[in-house]
């Protein structure tokens, strides 16, 4: 079975747009995905990227155009300017890490968190929202949130980020197949070509 590293943050609109396609590819080509939530700040700093608010207005406007286009292309409902954006995604990301530490499958919950932000107008920084999402996936919300707040989970979050910086991850989402980076959900079709080899 092929394996892939997936660097992302749950607040990323492009990770949301690619989530469904990514898992279609994983199922079709029997790929094991290693989820690696990261902090975007250090990754942007290392790669020379600017946070959204610091980008020129023309780039900010074009980003919205791209989100609309890709939402239609991927046939995924999306509010390109959600009420709760930007917010701090760290607790949501650490919930995903906590689930991984428990040996749980995380793709459904991760996708639900992304949908909550980008199509359901929910605040994924709100612990009550995360609690509800965990319960909806038959997960022990209290246990997961407690683990998400532990130092060991924060350490893994930081380790994922440091690993991403060391490898040259450019942003979220970044898919790595056999040490080759495919940056952005708009590279998923190229990733599929690579999976066919």
152 among known catalytic residues: no
- Asked if 39 contacts 157 with a C-beta cutoff of 8 angstroms, the reply is yes
* Pure H helices in 77-150: 90-101, 107-118, 127-136, 141-148
Residue 25 tokens, joined: 């590819």
Q: How far is CA 143 from CA 15, 91, 130, 135, 146, in A?
A: 26, 14, 12, 11, 5
Q: Which residues pair with 176 in a beta bridge?
A: 5, 181
**Catalytic choice (12, 71, 172, 174):** 12
DSSP conformation class of 196? T
Burial environment of residue 12 by CB neighbours within 10 A (0 to 12, 13 to 18, 19 or more): buried
Place of tokens 């080899």: 197
Task: State both tokens at 191.
Answer: 């990733």
Beta strands in 17-99 (DSSP E): 31-37
- Catalytic residue annotation: 12
């Amino acid at each position: 079975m092929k394996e892939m590293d997936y660097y992302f943050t749950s607040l990323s609109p492009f990770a949301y747009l690619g989530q469904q396609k990514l898992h279609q590819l994983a199922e079709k080509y029997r790929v094991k995905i290693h989820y690696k939530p990261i902090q975007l700040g250090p990754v942007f700093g290392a790669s020379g990227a600017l946070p959204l608010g610091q980008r020129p207005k023309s780039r900010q406007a074009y980003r919205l155009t791209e989100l609309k286009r890709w939402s239609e292309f991927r046939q995924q409902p999306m509010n390109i300017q959600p009420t709760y954006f930007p917010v701090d995604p760290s607790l949501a990301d650490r919930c995903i890490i906590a689930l991984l530490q428990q040996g749980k499958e995380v793709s459904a919950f991760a996708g639900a968190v992304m949908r909550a932000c980008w199509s359901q107008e929910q605040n994924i920084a709100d612990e009550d929202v995360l609690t509800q999402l965990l319960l909806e996936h038959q997960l022990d919300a209290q246990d997961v949130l407690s683990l998400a707040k532990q130092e060991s989970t924060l350490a893994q979050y930081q380790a994922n980020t440091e690993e991403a910086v060391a490898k040259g991850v450019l942003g979220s989402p970044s898919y790595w197949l056999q040490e080759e980076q495919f940056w952005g959900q708009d590279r998923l079709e190229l990733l599929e070509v690579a999976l066919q080899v």
